[in-house]
Structure 1
Amino acid sequence: MARKGENIYKRKDGRYEGRYIKDYDLQGKGIIGYVYGKTYKEAKEKLLIAKAKVKERYNKPPSEMLVKDWFEKWLSTQKHIKKSSYTVYSSLVENHINTELGNMRLCEVTKLTVQGFVNGLVAKWEPSTVKLIYTVLKLGLDTAADSGLMPTVCKRIKLPKQKNKEVVVFGKNEQKAIEKYIESSDNPNDIGILICLYTGIRIGELCALEWKNVDLKRGVISIQQTLYRAKSDKEKKKTEIVIALPKSDTSVRDIPLPKFLTAKLKAIEHGGGFLINRKGKSIEPTVYARRYKAILKEIGVRDVKFHTIRHTFATRALEIGMDIKTLSDILGHASPTVTLNIYAHSLPEHKAKEMDRLGKMYNPS
């Protein structure tokens, strides 16, 4: 039992545990901190020091809090989002927001501050990156404003216009060179590149694909999960491998396999575990991407991102006349509109052929 007003308890392991409110969450609820000592006296001394630090911090007005301290607190409330998103948020806060604004007090941040920050980003980064950094900044500062720590400053901020990026795809000769290499390869994992070329799945989905998700009787693969490296909650580990649900609800999907690919998978089927593996264990995307890059270098094909394979699949599918709705479902896009926005502008020859087909309807007689 604790002595009156002390909040120090003797534990079953013989140590003494002191408890105190070290912080408050965004709803004003106290967050409990702990100190430990071999004796009651040691625990009490540690508790007094911890409480003094808290008192020193909270003697300042809330708006005097530094931006970096606020974002540390805000990030601690974002554990409900996907680990991959949390890793991105943390990286953007650490490498961009804290670097430029971290030592400012919340009460000093104005709309002009935010606009100046965005303008500085525009000079260094692509519009899509600027928008992503600003989105995280706005989420954090809007929460601070909602908590009464500062006025709302993220209103009518001018962002750079996003340009449609040109979709990079492999030419047909490049694709044939890759396929020819894989055909003669003695590395069983190289078939993963072929799977992506003919299904359009993402590299994380490939690395998470298990044999239990491959139905060779029906000739279908079921995309149920994705694999990525994310920031770790464990003290001794900075990052860890995570296997989780795919990017979105529509990313959970069944994809029919071409017959030649079903036959190839039947030839290497080994019952269970990961389809792409190293001694039975999963291979993370960055490691598998290095193998892919090594193949490109060996066969003299230009060095492009692994995601180019997905774009190549979609482009080839449109070239042979696959309808947008079917392609959208296979790619796991939220809607056919997303698919059109990405790929329609990159197929002028396909558009011309379709218009020629329409023109053949003309018969005035």
Structure 2
Amino acid sequence: MPISDFGYSMTAHFLTIPSFSTIKKTYECINSCLKYAVKRRDLPYNVAESVIIPKNLEREKSDVKWFSEDELQRIETEAVRCYKNGKRVYRMGEIVIFLANTGLRIGEALALEWKDINFKKKRVTVRQNMVFVKDRDNSEKAYKYIKQRSTKTKKGSRIVPLNAAAIRALISLKGINGSTKFVFATSTGKRVYPRNIDRMFRGILHKCDIKCTGVHTLRHTFASRLFASGVDVKTVSELLGHSEVGITYDTYIHLIQEQQVVAVDVLENVLL
């Protein structure tokens, strides 16, 4: 069988190796599908659970992008903009502010229910993650949600504190979706599709004259702001819900190194 039949492209007799990100996303997709198949009892067990993905030792700085403080301010201002008649431009615009101030994955945010929000203690409990996949059982419905029992952390659920900006965003959303089960819901009370959030977000970036990128950049921005404020990598890792501190370190190594340089410079000034 030709090598190209296995999903690789052949150019000038050399293989084009997929990026680490592509491999990781492909694995997560296959793993979710196999989990669903086991749940339906179409398969006896999930073979993907025995697969160990090697760490990405060659992650480049360009792989992780984040917004500057000026860009983030413009994005958040645009996200809650209204027309002259007072009507909101973006119905779910507050999700942008929420993600930028909590660092949640889009699947985690869309899985949230109002019972997960504790306004009094100013925190959100992240219990599960929603995966958006093709619906093979329903020809009339192209996609469907699959609820994962826990997040990516070893402990399963985690608690994330809510700052003033996140609280304001949730209060505003409460006035829109307060009667629904989900924090981020459509006008009919159903879950919002991640592609719709992504489309809205790209529209916001276009309006702000900022280079288009995915919603996940808000998560990186959250992490970068924490590091810039001097928060240690272990705490950042716990807030992001990484299963290991090493994942956080490998992902944001350039940010961490930059902060170490700043710290040493401050120490030098003190000694002088």
Query: TM-score range, shorter-chain basis?
Result: 0.7 to 0.9
CA distance in 2 between partners of 1:254 and 1:345 (Å) = 27
- Helix, strand or coil for the counterpart of 2:252? helix
**Displacement of 1:254:** 0.8
Does structure 1 conserve the Cα–Cα contact (< 8 Å) formed by 2:152 and 2:242? no
- Superposed CA deviations along residues 18-69 of structure 1, whole A, max 9, x for unmatched, are xxxxxxxxxxxxxxxxxxxxxxxxxxxxxxxxxxxxxxxxxxxxxxxxx9xx
Does structure 2 conserve the Cα–Cα contact (< 8 Å) formed by 1:228 and 1:285? no
Does structure 2 conserve the Cα–Cα contact (< 8 Å) formed by 1:224 and 1:253? yes
**Which residue number corresponds to residue 281 of structure 1?**
190
- Helix, strand or coil for the counterpart of 1:277? coil
Unaligned runs of 5+ in 2: 31-53, 83-87
Percent identical:
26
**Which residue number corresponds to residue 32 of structure 1?**
none
Is the alpha carbon distance of 1:240 and 1:324 closer, same or farther for their aligned partners in structure 2, counting shifts above 3 Å? same
**Displacement of 1:272:** 4.3
**Which residue number corresponds to residue 266 of structure 1?**
171
CA distance in 2 between partners of 1:285 and 1:162 (Å) = 30
**Displacement of 1:125:** 3.2
- Superposed CA deviations along residues 298-352 of structure 1, whole A, max 9, x for unmatched, are 1211101111111111001100111211111110011222111111223554222
| Superposition map of 1:249-264 within 5 A | 249-250=154-155, 252-264=157-169
Does structure 2 conserve the Cα–Cα contact (< 8 Å) formed by 1:250 and 1:332? no
- Helix, strand or coil for the counterpart of 1:178? helix
Greater RCO (Cα-Cα under 8 Å, separation 6 or more): 2
**Which residue number corresponds to residue 240 of structure 1?**
144
**Which residue number corresponds to residue 192 of structure 1?**
95
Is the alpha carbon distance of 1:121 and 1:206 closer, same or farther for their aligned partners in structure 2, counting shifts above 3 Å? farther
CA distance in 2 between partners of 1:131 and 1:213 (Å) = 29
Does structure 2 conserve the Cα–Cα contact (< 8 Å) formed by 1:205 and 1:223? yes
Amino acid at match of 2:181: G
Is the alpha carbon distance of 1:355 and 1:267 closer, same or farther for their aligned partners in structure 2, counting shifts above 3 Å? same
CA distance in 2 between partners of 1:121 and 1:222 (Å) = 48
Q: When the two structures are aligned, how many residues end up with a matched partner?
A: 232
- Superposed CA deviations along residues 128-162 of structure 1, whole A, max 9, x for unmatched, are 536887998xxxxxxxxxxxxxxxxxxxxxx9x86
**Which residue number corresponds to residue 176 of structure 1?**
73
Does structure 2 conserve the Cα–Cα contact (< 8 Å) formed by 1:200 and 1:313? yes
**Which residue number corresponds to residue 126 of structure 1?**
19
Q: For the aligned residues, what is the CA RMSD? A: 3.4
**Which residue number corresponds to residue 105 of structure 2?**
202
CA distance in 2 between partners of 1:122 and 1:293 (Å) = 33
**Displacement of 1:222:** 0.9
**Which residue number corresponds to residue 147 of structure 1?**
none
- Helix, strand or coil for the counterpart of 1:308? helix
Unaligned runs of 5+ in 1: 1-66, 68-95, 103-113, 137-158
- Helix, strand or coil for the counterpart of 2:92? helix
**Which residue number corresponds to residue 315 of structure 1?**
224
Moved more, 351-360 or 196-205: 351-360
Amino acid at match of 1:259: A
Q: Bigger radius of gyration, 1 or 2?
A: 1
CA distance in 2 between partners of 1:266 and 1:131 (Å) = 36
Does structure 2 conserve the Cα–Cα contact (< 8 Å) formed by 1:128 and 1:162? no
Amino acid at match of 1:304: T
| Superposition map of 1:146-157 within 5 A | none
